Structure 1
Amino acid sequence: MKDNLFFDHIILIDDDSIINHVHELLVKRHIAAKNITSYLNPLNAIIAIQNLLQQENLKILVFLDLNMPEITGFEFLDKVAELENNTKVFDIIIVSSSIDSNDISRGENHPLVRTYIAKPITSNKLKELKENYLQLEVQY
Structure 2
Amino acid sequence: MPNKFHTCLLVDDNYIDNFVTRRILESVDFADDIVVIQSATEALDALQKGAVKPDVIFLDIRMPQMSGFEFLKAYETLGTDKSGTKIFMLSSSLDPTDMNNSLSNKYVTQFVHKPLTHEALEELCT
**TM value normalised by structure 2:** 0.90
Q: Which structure 1 residue ranges, 5 or more long, are not aligned? A: 132-140
1:106 equivalent in structure 2: 101
CA distance in 2, matches of 1:64, 1:87: 15
CA distance in 1, matches of 2:46, 2:5: 16
SS at match of 1:125: helix
CA distance in 2, matches of 1:32, 1:81: 26
Change (3 A) 1:37 1:59: closer
CA distance in 2, matches of 1:13, 1:63: 6
CA distance in 2, matches of 1:34, 1:25: 13
- Residue 28 of structure 2 aligns with an amino acid whose one-letter code is H
Change (3 A) 1:73 1:100: same
CA distance in 2, matches of 1:40, 1:31: 22
Identical-residue share of aligned pairs (%): 29
- Residue 48 of structure 1 aligns with an amino acid whose one-letter code is A
- Residue 123 of structure 1 aligns with an amino acid whose one-letter code is H
Q: After superposing the two structures, state which structure 1 stretch, 111-120 or 84-93, moved more.
A: 84-93
In terms of Rg, which structure is larger?
A: 1
1:4 equivalent in structure 2: 2
Q: Which structure 2 residue ranges, 5 or more long, are not aligned? A: none
Q: Contact 1:30 / 1:126 at 8 angstroms: preserved in 2?
A: no
- Residue 101 of structure 2 aligns with an amino acid whose one-letter code is R
CA distance in 2, matches of 1:32, 1:51: 24
SS at match of 1:19: helix
**TM value normalised by structure 1:** 0.82
Change (3 A) 1:59 1:44: closer
Aligned-residue CA RMSD in angstroms?
1.9
SS at match of 1:28: helix
Structure whose residues are more often helix by fraction: 1
Corresponding residue pairs, total: 126
